Chains A and B, each alone.
Chain A
């Protein structure tokens, strides 16, 4: 039994990490361009919703809706934070609340009985999650777009002096970040749960952002961070599936409630251990101390 348990845990870790990696890449893109993006949580939820709803009609339509929604929401966050000069945390919170409320409302209206879709193979998303960090690393370091993106993220003033307006790279970065976020959400509804439930993102967008910080804003580091957090999601799931019991000191350690704390506690611990040694993109710290 021991060996198959280990294989299940490893598989489960990989697939738990998939949405985190995808969302984390969105986090890297946005934050390296100097825009804090806590709206990833809402983007995931929106992606899960449209992926499921339009996926009910046809899978290509679902994918199309996920990409379009991501782009629109990303542009909206970019518009709010850049053109409208809104505090990025306020914009992110507002969008998260709006998307949580809107998806809950629409789910009640459109499919009150829930539903099931065959959707897409999880392996497709796994492939994407393996590929994307390398692609992003290459883009950031080897392309003109990547250079501009980092320039406006590190020092918008110098970039402006060099003739790079800060807005265009940021709009692109945050738009792509939106697509990453909704794609991560699409994995949840189209490939994992095969249905949509309200608030199904359950904080994974925030955990992905923690993975970005954990990985020091580097795509591969962030993917590593996502894998690390994915392990604890997987451990929690596997312990529950196998109905493993551990009672000690009068505490039922394997209670679902305590196991559910695990990923969040580990995220907290990871943040405590890494920050202070991690340097965020300089333009982010204009608003931080």
Chain B
């Protein structure tokens, strides 16, 4: 698949898309009988942690601007950053695929199997105990192994679609969607059978707790924010380096610009397709592993949330560039977290965040170039 995707989404268009998306949802909320301004206020407070009035809890930092009292909730902001982390990983996963002309819709499944792998390796040394145990491995070793398990298994799951594409020409959009359903059902099977939570009173599809030696501690008390956020940002920098400063990155981009031309130039097409899908899956797998290590401390059904699909919007809004994706992941992290608070405070369903996301994808994708002059490099093979 050759994507005739305009990767040069400029900042103006991105901001305009966001604005239209937000306004449209305001109209929808108004029509459904909610008070849009109240909703926006809750959305803003949940997104940034900034709100007016005196501090209300210990994690709030009070300040005043020209006599106007306001406070900053470090907890809320930490939650936004915690949501930012998997969004960034998934956005990067989708982006590297698109750079090679591959549309990986399977980040959801890859993240899910990554989470399951991390929960399995993280449970080393627990012996099915119901209480959290310290574990037998040194934390540094155990943390590394657990994260690597997620990366590896996510990568392998992604590589399946790469092999099918390279060897049999199966379109990756269809294969990754099918693999998503398989991944979700398969992990649910394991979470209810072989790797079931040993606690007999538990009825949910989840595994037992992982050992404490594989837990990531929260950076802000009680929040979901862990060191994972730094790993995500480092991955973005690493990916930018890989794409523009290494031979492998050059080959990925060459394949993305024209698979046949790249093959003619002596680039091993099959190998690049498989490796790119593996790398894409590995990034999504890392997101799954970090969710397990930092938040749930076990695999629970739906660990991957909707991050895999959200990643598509993140990548497109971020113009498929690692640094742009850092910004767009921050926006979507804020949006998701804001929508949660909005639902709590105003009862307006947080599903509206999905609508905003969809509107942004569509607006960013519009091109309207003159139809008589298709750009040969982005539109046609020859």
Contact = CB atoms under 8 A, between A and B. Distances in A.
Given A87-B4, A257-B192, A98 B351 contact: no
A138 to B, nearest CB: 28
B235 interface: no
A98 B355 contact: yes
B269 to A, nearest CB: 9
Nearest to B31: A109
Contacts of A94: 358-359, 361-362, 365
A51 to B, nearest CB: 20
Nearest to B259: A289
Contact of B192 (A91, A255, A272, A276): A255
Contact of A86 (B32, B168, B174, B366): B366
Contacts of A113: none
Interface in B146-200: 164, 168-171, 173-175, 177-179, 181-182, 185-186, 188-189, 192-194
Interface in B2-36: 2-5, 28, 32
A271 interface: yes
A100 interface: yes
Given A264-B181, A271-B175, A84 B351 contact: no
B107 interface: no
Given A105-B349, A105-B351, A286-B379, A97 B361 contact: yes
A102 B355 CA distance: 6
B195 to A, nearest CB: 13
A276 B168 contact: yes
Contact of A85 (B186, B359, B368): B368
Nearest to A90: B365
Q: Decide if the interface of chain A is mainly helix, strand, loop or mixed.
A: helix
Interface string B366-382: 11110100000001110
B174 A209 contact: yes
Interface string A148-163: 0000000000000000
A289 B5 CA distance: 15
Interface in A168-211: 203, 206, 209-210
Nearest to A198: B351
A91 B380 CA distance: 19
Contacts of A257: 185-186, 188-189, 192
B1 interface: yes
Interface residues of A, number: 47
Contact of B2 (A272, A275, A287): A287
A98 B367 CA distance: 19
Interface string A72-107: 000000001001111101110111011011101100
A258 B186 CA distance: 6
Contacts of B89: none
Give the most central of A80, A252, A255, A287: most B CB within 10 Å: A287
Contacts of B171: 213, 271, 275, 288
B355 A272 contact: no
A257 B174 CA distance: 21
Contacts of A84: 365-368
B340 to A, nearest CB: 15
B60 interface: no
Nearest to B352: A105
B351 to A, nearest CB: 4
Given A288-B2, A289-B381, A267 B178 contact: yes
Given A89-B103, A275-B170, A289-B260, A98 B2 contact: no
Nearest to B187: A257
Contact of A90 (B188, B316, B357, B359): B316
Nearest to B28: A105
Contacts, number: 153
Nearest to B101: A289
A28 interface: no
A201 B239 CA distance: 36
A100 B354 contact: yes
A85 B3 CA distance: 12
Given A84-B366, A267-B178, A276-B168, A90 B185 contact: no
Contacts of B182: 261, 264-265, 268
A108 interface: yes
A30 to B, nearest CB: 15
Contacts of B358: 94-95, 97-98, 101
B332 to A, nearest CB: 13
B169 A276 contact: yes
A91 B170 CA distance: 21
A101 B2 contact: no
A275 B316 contact: no
Contacts of B32: 109
Contacts of B260: 289
B4 A272 contact: no
B280 to A, nearest CB: 16
A38 interface: yes
Contacts of B349: 104-105, 108-109
A100 B353 CA distance: 12
Contacts of B355: 98, 101-102, 105
11 contacts: A85-B366, A86-B365, A89-B103, A97-B309, A101-B354, A255-B193, A257-B186, A257-B192, A258-B186, A268-B178, A271-B168
Given A104-B349, A289-B1, 4 more contacts: A102-B355, A210-B178, A265-B182, A272-B168
Interface of B: 1-5, 28, 32, 101, 103, 105, 164, 168-171, 173-175, 177-179, 181-182, 185-186, 188-189, 192-194, 259-260, 309, 312-313, 316, 349, 351-352, 354-355, 357-359, 361-362, 365-369, 371, 379-381
Which 6 A-B pairs give the minimum distances between C-beta atoms? Answer: A101-B354, A98-B358, A257-B189, A97-B358, A94-B361, A94-B362
